[in-house]
Structure 1
């Protein structure tokens, strides 16, 4: 009989707390359903379902927004589940919890509606920002499409981050006292200032990237020269870094701040681009003969354009020799290295056939 009474009391206590358990599980279940629906909607916007939208959304920005919104939903649901289940506990349990942790805040329906309205406002703001930048891309000429895509991503990230912070403080205002909320706000602002201090260099690179995208000195796929030595093809560009494949097939990531601080030559836009070959010859060789051989080498080299004739100049006198400079032009900057090599080899062949030998090492660039 004693065991039966104890078992009866245990079952009665469990049954009394079933509503609280049901509230907790039900709220989290609803949150999981909402997240699942959000994921399906994101897949639709990315064009991953059979039904396709009229315009596919950028995968990167959409994935980030989906992750942020998912965690916001889970955080809100967890807070609502905990507070709601506490309110569904028996009065004796609520009194014990209040004596331990203090007054239990309640969540009014108007507060939940405010949180949901905030989530809706974030989604609307995100779509509004997207539509503004898409309109600028099609009707504005001040910024390049690449710059607008980068700015749109940054703006959408900012919308979600600011919205998440606002919702966080709204939720904390429901569960924290005024003094504790002020302390948290001070700590949060201090943390943001510290993060901004440590992220100064990335922010500086991002601003440099925005400046480069606005001025548009090069595009992806074009061949450029950075400074005096680095020559390569642009593979990609973000707000902070520009990726270049060098002539040695090396992948180099250049900070955008460096690109603003040094000269950048765009070979792809400098058509035709000049190739220089310098040859030192002794005084005993007639300059007309040297000029004719150099022009013949340029004319017989594949990749040298005919529309703009090659030119030969006497650059300077070096001791008992004259330094001749050949200007030949190409409209294939992506083959510049091969064309220059072929030109140098043809110069060598013609001078050897004419039994003429330069007096010093030739140079080219």
Structure 2
């Protein structure tokens, strides 16, 4: 059985790698052709600019097409084995679909771990650079703040701080805006300062302009002391796009009520989604294996492939809809993230049950 398990894992892994790299290279190549002028404007231009763009774009592209690559690789292997009558021999030897799923567990863990690392580590590190370049899809995401990079977000009680830039320790800030809110969460005062320096747990603001609500006249000050305990942290440098944040950043934003950028449940939904993608690959395995067992008597290879692809696309569509509903607050965050995976697992269980009954 170990030989069968190693054979299946190797076949699926090889096809998965070639499919994922093939699709990703094709998509990135289209980007390069479509936005060649913008890409060549990066740095000194030339091939170095193209290589830099490919490296920055690769994590997001790989992450996008990884689930569908897993599905296609599994279906192609099962079709090939069925066509060569090797799959019926496996079923005839008494190996159950569940046993085959366990054989492919190492591949599912590898694919799930790769998907998680791409989304949690690689994408957050490349996203700020891509937004700064503003090429292709990132043109709409580019921050329109007068050439600034990602702003710094902090929180002290009900007050929210936004800074254009900061030093490594986040103790010296530039282009500061403090949004002071009342108990109902409504803006009551807006403090704008050219710079802010943290000294003895107090922020010293320079070149200050204070706006009040109810159309009261603004107040200009050379210096101002703010005593709020803002929390300097590296995560505060994120722009607030949850799909491009790590789990630690998402947790930081959840703990601080989203810094007033977006509702807390948006970041909670993406936090649960980051965990759910780890088991997506195994859900694909759990779907394809009993589907292949359903056609153990031979024939119907084309139908098996069509049904597998169809169920896969239904899963991706349902996943997108559930994620949107979670961001809008229509459903609880954990349900929005886990419902599509659990639904796919339920379909796989139903097919397995019918197969065993027949």
Band of TM-score, shorter chain: under 0.3
Structure showing greater relative contact order (alpha-carbon pairs closer than 8 Å, 6 or more residues apart): 2
TM-score, with length taken from structure 2: 0.25
